[in-house]
Structure 1
Amino acid sequence: MIITRSASRKGGPYALVAVLCAAVLVATLTGATRPLSAAAFTTTGHWVYNSVLGVVFHIDGGTANVDARLPVDAEVGSQVLQGDTRAFVVGQGRITPFDKATLSPQGSVPAPADEHPLGIEVVGGPYAVYRGAGKVVRLGDPTATIAAGGPIGNPVVTDDGTMWLHRTGVGSICTIARSAVELSGCPVSAPADHAGALTVVGGRPAFVDLFTGSLHTVDNGVLGPGKALGVSLSPNSRPAARDLGGRVAILDPIRRNLVLVDPDARPAAAAVTVPLPAGDYDGPVSTGDVVALVERKQGTVLTFGPDGARRDEKPVKRDQGEPRLSQGEDRRVYVEDSDGTQVLVVAEDGRVRDVDVSGKQAATPQSQPQPPDDTSEPDVGVPTPGNGRRDPLPGRQHPDQRGTDQRATDQREPDRQDRTTPPPPPAPVPAGRPGAPPSVLAQAGNGSATVTWGEAPDNRAPITSYLVSWQGGGGSGSFPVGGDQRQAVVEGLVNGERYVITVAATNQVGAGPGTSANPVVPVAPVSPAAPPVGLKASYDPDDRPTRDVTVSWGQPALNGGTLVHYVVAATGQGTRQVTATEAKYKQLEAATAYTFTVHAVTRTPDGQLLDGEAASISIRDEKPKTASAHIEQGGPSQTDRCHPPACAWVNATMSGLDPNTTYLLRLSSNSTLDVRTEPFTTDATGAAVYNKLNYDVPGERVWVTVLTESRQEVIESNRITWK
C-alpha cells in the first residue's frame, strides 16, 4: 500500500493563518499572484510536470490557460494525476503527492513497480496502472495497491466508478469496485488464446475480440454473443476506452488505419476506415465527440470526428522521449511532450490548442513617454495631486517663481502658446487576417498529390495554421497543418481524375484568402507486376507412381502495365508461356519433388516488356506409408502466451518422413485447431524430435499434425488430455 502524509486540518485562526502564509510563500517563489482554492481544481483541467523547470502547472481545459504552478522535486518524464483534494507526481521510481488547496508537496513514496504506469483520472481514482506487473494503485481515498494476478491490458472504467481489467493470455475479465482495496472478482471469461481489449459502449463494458473481429458486450456478468465488426484487424489493434457517438474507434498500427465501427447499426453499417500516414501511433482516446491520436515518431496530434473526417492536426515537440496522450476526468484530451514543456488541449469539437507551460510571465505594457516640461529644474519636490508635477519643498522658492502679477500675466500671453508640443504617437495598426500564400504548386503522385507554398503575410498576427483543401474526382476535402509547414500530401485521390488544391492561412483574427495550385491528375507509376496471387498445385495424392498436377493462380496487380502472358516453369519440365491462369502437367513422378514458378509479363505504354515478381510452390509425395507421429506432455514452460502452472512443453517424435526435408508441425486443441504452427526438418533417416511448442489449458484434448510446406496434411499424432 502507498502510504502518504496528509496535512493537518485543525480549526481555529492559527490554522487559517498557516494556510494563508503558505499560499503567500508559494506565490512569492513561483510568480502565482493568487493560488486558487481547492474548489477551483476539483477534477477540472489538467496538471503537467515540466521536467526542465521542476515545476507542476495547472491548465484550465476550458480556456487553455495556466492558472497555478508549484515547484516539485520529481523524476524527469513524470506525469501528474489528480484527485479531489490532492494530486500526485508519478515517476518510474517514486510518487510525490501535493495538496491542491495549499499548493504544498507532501513527501515521496517508492513506486510499486519499475515501469512507467498508465494514468487514469476517473471517479473513484486517480489510478496508476502497472500493466506488466499486473498492479493497480488507487491514489485516491482509500489509497491501495491492488494485485490483478498477472499482466493486464488497458483497463476501462464505467460511469459507476467500476474498473474492468482484462488479464492478457488468461482471458479473465476482472473488476475493481469504486473505493475497493482489492480485486472484486473475475466474473467474465474471454477466450484465453484470443487477442483482445476492453472498451465501453453505451455505458457498458465490452470485449473487442481481435481474433474473430467481433464485439461482445458484458451484461449482468456474462460475456454476450459477438457482433461482427465487419473489418479485419491485426492482433496489436487497440480500441479507445469509450465509444465515439456509438462507434468503436480502433487503431490498427500494423495496417496504419483508424477504424470506426457501429456494431449496433441495423442494418449493419460499413466500417469507416481512415488511412494514416506512416508512423508510430499512440491512442486512440475518445472524448465521446471526437477521437485523438498522437504520431510519436514525428510528433503530431490528429483528431477525427465519428464520421472519420479529420478535425485538426497540430505538431507537438519530440525532445528526447515520446509525447504522452492522456484524458482528464473532464473528458478533455491532453497531449504533453516528454519533458512537459508543451501541452496541447483537444476541445470538444476536435480543435487542438497549444498551452505555454514554459513558466514565462507576460510582459507588463510600458506607458508612453510624457513630453518634457518647459522647466529644466531638477525634480526634487513632492507629488501634487491632479497634475503629476512636484511643488518645491517647504522653505525653498522655485527659481521661476517671480511673485508679481506681470509674471503671472506673461504665462498667459499668446507667445507662450506657440511652444511646440510633440504630437501623440499614432494608434497601432490592429492585426488582420493573413494574406494569400504565394507560390502554391502541386505535383501529382500515385493516388495522391504533394502541394508546396510560401509563407503567407501574417498581417501582424502569427500564422497558426494552413488549411489545405481540394476538389475534383467527384469529391472534395480539407485538413489543417501547422503554421510552420510549407508542404502537405493529399492522400486518397483517384488516379486519372483532375484535382485543384487550394491553400489558405489562418491566424488569431481568422482565415485569409486561398491560393489555388496548378491542376494535377494523379497516375499510378508503371512498374513490374506483383507476384501472382493464390498460387496452388492440385493433384490426387493417392495416384502412384505418376500423377497429373494442375497449377493455378490469380491475376496479380499489374502496376500500370498491360498483361502480355504468364511464364510458368517446373522442375525438369522447362518453361511455358500461357495467357490463362493455370497450367496442367501430366504423368509427373510421385516420388519426385517439383517446384513450380509463375510470373507475369506486362507491357508499358511505351512498349517495353517487364518481367513481374515470381510466386513459387513445391510438392512432393505427402503420404509416406511408414510415417508416424507421437506426443507427450513435457516439463514446465513459460512464454508470453503460455502461463504457469499449467504451461508445459509438447514433446513430439516423428519418423518415416522424407529425409532432410522441412515440414510444418501444427498444434491443435478442442477449442483451437491451430494454436501454433512451426517448421521442423527431418534428419537423414526421415525422423525428427520437436519440443518447442507449449500449451496451458488443463482438460483440453491436444494433438499435432504434420504438414508439408504447402500445408498438405501428412499424418496426425495421438491425442492426450492436458494436465
Structure 2
Amino acid sequence: MTLAVCLAAVTAAVSGAASRPPALGYTNSGHWVAVPGLGVVYHVNGAGRAVDAQADVGEVEPGSQVVQSDTSGYVVGPSRITEFGKSDLAVDQTLKPPTGERPVALETASGPYLVYREAGSVVRLGDKATTIPAGGPLGEPVATPDGSVWLHRLDANSLCRLAPAAERITCPALVPNGHTGALTVVGERPVFLDTDADSLSPVDPDGLGQPTKIGVDVPRAARVAPVDVRGRVAIVDPAAKRMHLVDGTDLGRGRQPAPPVTVNLPDGTYSAPVAGGSSVVLIDTDNRKVLTYNADGQQQHVADVPEDVGEPRLRRGDDKRVYVDGPEGTRVLVVDEDGSVANVPVVGTGPSASAPPVSPSAEPSAGARPGGSGPPTGSPAPIPSAPPRSPGTPTTTQGPRAAPASPPGMPPGLTATPEGDTLRVAWGAAPANGAAVTDYLVSWAPVAGGAGGNSGHGGSARATTITGLTRGVAYQITVVARNSAGRGTPAQTRATLPAATRTATVTRGRPTTYEDSCGPPNCHFMHIELRGFAPNTSYHVDPHSSEKFDYNPGATLRTDSQGVLIFERFPFSSPGETIWVTVRDTDVESNRYVWPAA
C-alpha cells in the first residue's frame, strides 16, 4: 500500500546580519545541545569530550532538541524549527512543524528526519523541508544505513518504509493480526520483534520474513534498542527489571540462534535501551544512573546523572557514541564506544548573541518553497494549511539589528607541553564577540578526580606555566575567556608529566659507631638517595651486603612532596664487601657499592 505525501507549510525568514563566530566545518560527529536560557546551541565533541563550538540562534523554546545534517543544524521546538549553518554558525531560516508534539529525531544520510508519532507525520529536513503523512499513529521508528526510515503503523499494524528522497511511504509488510511488537535494525536490515510470538523476523521488500524464536518470553511493554550491538538485540523488560540480549544474525534462514543472554538489572525504572558502538546504554530514572553493558551482558560502567541535567534523554550519534542530555542543556554525558562515560559541562553565561529571533511571515500554501512560487515539479497536489500567497510574493524578512555583546568564543590552539617538572600551557586569542576579552582563567585537575588549581591572566596573555603537578597523573587543562558579557566556551586538553624513573643510590656517608661491632676508622652510615617515587609516601628500605645479605632489618621512611627521600642510616664497617639497598614491594634495587677502607 502507498500513502500520499503532502508538503509542510514552512515559514522562511533570514535573520539580520550580525557578528558571527569564525566559520567552522563539521561532519555529523558529536552532538549539539540547546540552552534555552541563553539562546545558544553548543557542539560537544564526543572524541575530545569537550565543547568546541557554539552558535547563537535567538530564542530557544524549552525542551528543544538539536539534530544535524552534513551542512546544517536544526533546533527543534514545539512551534518552530530554526536552521543554522554548520560552516558559518549563522541562522538561515525557520520552519513551522506540523504539530507541537516532541518528535523522535533520526540522523541519517538522507535526513535528518523528525517523526511525529501521535500525529502520524514524518518531516524530512534539508534543502526542501517536507512533511510526509504516514496515515496514522506510529511506533518507535528506526533508520537503516542506506538512509531509509522504517515505521510501524499501529492502527493498520503494517510496517512501512520511507526511502531516501522518496515522497511516498510504502508498506511492504503486515504484522500478524492481533500481534504487537517493535522495529529494530540488525546490521543493514530492518527487523521486527513480535512480542506475542517472541520472535524476530526480517522485513523484506515482499513482506515479513521467516520468524526466528528468540528463546525468551518478552511482554508487550518490552523496550527495544533501535540497532543491534554486535549482532545482538537489546530488549528491556521493565516490570521484571531484566535485559535480554538476543541473537539477531542470519534471520530468516532457518539457522538456530545463539542462546540469549539475560541480565538482571538493579532495582529502578529504566528507559528504552540505546546501542552505541559496542555497548548498550540504559538510564535508571529513579536512581539517576547511566549503566552500560557489552554484547555479552557484562556491565562496563555505571555513572551518576547530575541533578542539573534534569530529565535525562538518550541519543545515539552518527559517531556511534551515545549522548545523554537534558532540557536545560547544562551538561552532556558522553558514552564512548567502550561504554565509558565522560561528564562534559556546557559552559556559557550571559545574553544570547548574534542571531536574533526570527519573526514568522505569512505562511505559503503547503508545498511552497521559501521564496518560491509553488510546489516542486512532480510533487503531489499540496493541501493548503494557511491562506495561499500570490506567486512571486517575496518572503518577509527581518531587517538587521545590532547584536548585544556575548561571552567570548573558545580560545583556539590550546596546548599543554611538559617542560621538566612543569606544564607549559599556551592558547590563541578567543573571539571577542562584541566586547574585549578582559582575562583568561586557566584551571587544572586530575582526570581521575582530586584537587587541582587555577590561575587568572590578563586579556593579552597567551601562555602560562603550571607547577606542582604529580608525575604520571593525567590532568585536564581548561582555559576560558571572559568579557563584560560573562565567561565563554572553554577550551580543554589533557596532559601528563611523564612518570620519573625510580632510582636508588648508595654511597658511604658520615662516620659513626655502633656498639662494639662497628667503630673507627671504617664505620660509617650508608648514604642513600631515592628519587622518582610517589610523593608523601612511606617505603621500607632494606640494606644488604655480599657477606651478610640481611644483616639489618631496614627502616620505613617517607618521601617528600617531590617523591624524593635522602637519608643516612645502617652503620657498616667491612672494607672490600659490596653493599646495596632494595625498596620493598617495588622492583627498585640500588647500585652495588664496594665499601672502601679508611
TM band (smaller chain): 0.5 to 0.7
Q: How does 1:504-583 map to 2 (within 5 A)?
A: none
Higher radius of gyration, 1 or 2: 1
How far apart in 2 are the matches of 1:367 and 1:340? 27
Q: Report the counterpart of residue 10 of structure 2 in structure 1.
A: 3
* Structure 2 counterpart of 1:57, one-letter code: Y
**1:221: how far off?**
2.6
Q: Does 1:43 align with 2:83?
A: no
* Structure 2 counterpart of 1:289, one-letter code: S
Alpha carbons 1:259, 1:274 under 8 Å: kept: yes
Say which SS state the counterpart of residue 105 (structure 2) adopts.
Answer: strand
* Structure 2 counterpart of 1:82, one-letter code: Q
Alpha carbons 1:199, 1:206 under 8 Å: kept: yes
**1:155: how far off?**
1.1
Q: Report the counterpart of residue 574 of structure 2 in structure 1.
A: none
Q: Report the counterpart of residue 53 of structure 1 in structure 2.
A: 38
Q: Does 1:66 align with 2:69?
A: no
Q: How does 1:17-416 map to 2 (within 5 A)?
A: 25-27=19-21, 35-37=22-24, 40-72=25-57, 73-183=59-169, 185-264=170-249, 267-319=256-308, 321-359=310-348, 363-364=441-442
The C-alpha deviation readout for 1:366-401, integer Å capped at 9, x for no partner, is 5899xxxxxxxxxxxxxxxxxxxxxxxxxxxxxxxx
**1:54: how far off?**
2.6
The C-alpha deviation readout for 1:678-716, integer Å capped at 9, x for no partner, is xxxxxxxxxxxxxxxxxxxxxxxxxxxxxxxxxxxxxxx
Per the normalisation by structure 2, the TM-score is 0.56
How far apart in 1 are the matches of 2:223 and 2:192? 11
Q: Which runs of 5+ in 1 are unaligned?
A: 9-17, 28-34, 370-424, 435-460, 462-723
How far apart in 1 are the matches of 2:62 and 2:184? 31
How far apart in 1 are the matches of 2:258 and 2:265? 22
**1:277: how far off?**
2.1
The C-alpha deviation readout for 1:118-170, integer Å capped at 9, x for no partner, is 11111111111111111111112331111111111111111211111111242
Alpha carbons 2:289, 2:304 under 8 Å: kept: yes
How far apart in 1 are the matches of 2:149 and 2:202? 15
How far apart in 2 are the matches of 1:297 and 1:248? 24
Alpha carbons 1:290, 1:304 under 8 Å: kept: yes
Alpha carbons 1:89, 1:95 under 8 Å: kept: yes
**1:297: how far off?**
2.9
**1:330: how far off?**
2.2
Q: Report the counterpart of residue 678 of structure 1 in structure 2.
A: none
How far apart in 1 are the matches of 2:108 and 2:309? 30
How far apart in 2 are the matches of 1:287 and 1:345? 11
How far apart in 2 are the matches of 1:180 and 1:141? 14
Alpha carbons 2:12, 2:93 under 8 Å: kept: yes
Q: How does 1:474-493 map to 2 (within 5 A)?
A: none
- Relative to 1, partners in 2 of residues 1:317 and 1:221: Cα closer, same or farther, differing over 3 Å? farther
* Structure 2 counterpart of 1:115, one-letter code: E
The C-alpha deviation readout for 1:167-199, integer Å capped at 9, x for no partner, is 12421111101012332x111111242110001
- Relative to 1, partners in 2 of residues 1:331 and 1:36: Cα closer, same or farther, differing over 3 Å? farther
* Structure 2 counterpart of 1:163, one-letter code: V
How far apart in 1 are the matches of 2:307 and 2:100? 24
Say which SS state the counterpart of residue 178 (structure 1) adopts.
Answer: coil
How far apart in 2 are the matches of 1:253 and 1:77? 25
- Relative to 1, partners in 2 of residues 1:62 and 1:6: Cα closer, same or farther, differing over 3 Å? farther
- Relative to 1, partners in 2 of residues 1:147 and 1:318: Cα closer, same or farther, differing over 3 Å? farther
- Relative to 1, partners in 2 of residues 1:309 and 1:3: Cα closer, same or farther, differing over 3 Å? same
How far apart in 1 are the matches of 2:466 and 2:165? 64
How far apart in 1 are the matches of 2:260 and 2:72? 42
- Relative to 1, partners in 2 of residues 1:104 and 1:309: Cα closer, same or farther, differing over 3 Å? same
- Relative to 1, partners in 2 of residues 1:427 and 1:433: Cα closer, same or farther, differing over 3 Å? closer
Alpha carbons 2:158, 2:175 under 8 Å: kept: yes
Return the structure number with greater helix share.
1
**1:267: how far off?**
4.8
How far apart in 2 are the matches of 1:74 and 1:367? 33
How far apart in 2 are the matches of 1:426 and 1:239? 49
How far apart in 2 are the matches of 1:262 and 1:49? 37
* Structure 1 counterpart of 2:441, one-letter code: A
* Structure 2 counterpart of 1:109, one-letter code: L
* Structure 2 counterpart of 1:219, one-letter code: D
* Structure 1 counterpart of 2:10, one-letter code: I
Alpha carbons 1:170, 1:192 under 8 Å: kept: no
Alpha carbons 1:324, 1:335 under 8 Å: kept: yes
Q: Does 1:430 align with 2:430?
A: no
How far apart in 1 are the matches of 2:225 and 2:114? 18
**1:311: how far off?**
1.2
Say which SS state the counterpart of residue 273 (structure 2) adopts.
Answer: strand
* Structure 2 counterpart of 1:428, one-letter code: G
**1:107: how far off?**
4.2
**1:90: how far off?**
0.6
Q: Report the counterpart of residue 646 of structure 1 in structure 2.
A: none
- Relative to 1, partners in 2 of residues 1:115 and 1:268: Cα closer, same or farther, differing over 3 Å? same
**1:298: how far off?**
3.0
**1:288: how far off?**
4.1
Alpha carbons 2:10, 2:94 under 8 Å: kept: no
* Structure 2 counterpart of 1:317, one-letter code: P
* Structure 2 counterpart of 1:43, one-letter code: N
Alpha carbons 1:94, 1:108 under 8 Å: kept: yes
Say which SS state the counterpart of residue 41 (structure 1) adopts.
Answer: coil
Say which SS state the counterpart of residue 108 (structure 1) adopts.
Answer: strand
Alpha carbons 2:136, 2:155 under 8 Å: kept: no
- Relative to 1, partners in 2 of residues 1:342 and 1:180: Cα closer, same or farther, differing over 3 Å? same
How many pairs does the alignment contain? 357
**1:110: how far off?**
2.9
Alpha carbons 2:159, 2:174 under 8 Å: kept: yes
* Structure 2 counterpart of 1:81, one-letter code: V
Higher relative contact order (CA 8 A, sep 6+): 2
